[in-house]
A and B are shown apart, each in its own frame.
Chain A
Amino acid sequence: GAVVSQHPSWVICKSGTSVKIECRSLDFQATTMFWYRQFPKQSLMLMATSNEGSKATYEQGVEKDKFLINHASLTLSTLTVTSAHPEDSSFYICSANTDSSTGELFFGEGSRLTVL
């Protein structure tokens, strides 16, 4: 299967600072990547769709100015959590799909953010 790599795996930051999470497709090109957020014991909630070379599409209720997404190449999307606060502490997971007809998503390892 396709490989998606995410970095960092975990990060601790102070309230008010910004944190950048990278998502890379290692062995395929991804024109579209998806960013999910998962709080403890809850399911994955789609935050936004990252589109290579254009603006991201955000889900309802997700602040685009707080969660900045950049998809500058076919293998890299970044999510920046700006002015992070403790309530932003969560597990952030990116995903991408190849062009297969099934639409199966391949997930990165996830990044656990803790804001103090």
Chain B
Amino acid sequence: GQNIDQPTEMTATEGAIVQINCTYQTSGFNGLFWYQQHAGEAPTFLSYNVLDGLEEKGRFSSFLSRSKGYSYLLLKELQMKDSASYLCAVPGGSGGYNKLIFGAGTRLAVHP
């Protein structure tokens, strides 16, 4: 089965950098996703990592270490609109490559 751990809450200051960690255990590995979800809205896709290393996409970067079962999402130049939940997800086992299993999410609060 899958097990995903990420911090429940984080706070940061506008303009700063924040790193949101995610550790996972899976029976097989088919990549790791990060989604952003604002309150009351559906999640939106941020990144997908399947190989080790850092993937940079504008202010957001995502890192993966398959040997450590570890990923992080790095948010730079934080803006107030970045206040949201950030969800780490991995595809679920034999039931379906595309069946995503989500972590509990990290609620990020950005303060002025």
State whether the Cβ of B102 lies closer than 8 Å to any Cβ in chain A: yes
Contact with A along B24-42 (1 / 0, CB 8 A): 0000001101000000111
The tally of residues in B whose CB lies under 8 Å from a CB in A reads 27
Q: Is the CB of A102 within 8 A of B31?
A: yes
Contact with B along A82-109 (1 / 0, CB 8 A): 0000000001010101000011111111
Q: Bin chain A's interface residue count.
A: 20 to 34
Contact partner, B98, options A32, A43, A57, A93, Cβ 8 Å: A32
Q: Is the CB of B104 within 8 A of A1?
A: no
**Residues of chain B contacted by A46 (CB below 8 angstroms):** 92, 99-102
Q: Is the CB of B100 within 8 A of A43?
A: no
A residues 20-78 near B (Cβ < 8 Å) are: 32, 34, 36, 41-46, 49, 57
**Residues of chain A contacted by B112 (CB below 8 angstroms):** none
Q: How far is it, in angstroms, between the C-alpha of A63 and the C-alpha of B105 when the chains are bound?
A: 25
Q: How far is it, in angstroms, between the C-alpha of A1 and the C-alpha of B35 when the chains are bound?
A: 15
Contact partner, A102, options B48, B96, B103, Cβ 8 Å: B48
Binding site for A on B (CB under 8 A): 30-31, 33, 40-45, 48, 50, 85, 87, 91-92, 95-105, 107
Instruction: Provide a sorted-by-A list of 8 A–B residue pairs whose CB atoms are within 8 angstroms.
Output: A32-B96, A43-B104, A46-B100, A97-B98, A104-B33, A104-B45, A105-B100, A107-B42
Binding site for B on A (CB under 8 A): 1, 32, 34, 36, 41-46, 49, 57, 91, 93, 95, 97, 102-110, 112
In the A-B complex, the 9 residue pairs with the closest CB atoms? A107-B42, A103-B98, A43-B105, A43-B104, A44-B102, A97-B98, A110-B42, A43-B102, A102-B48
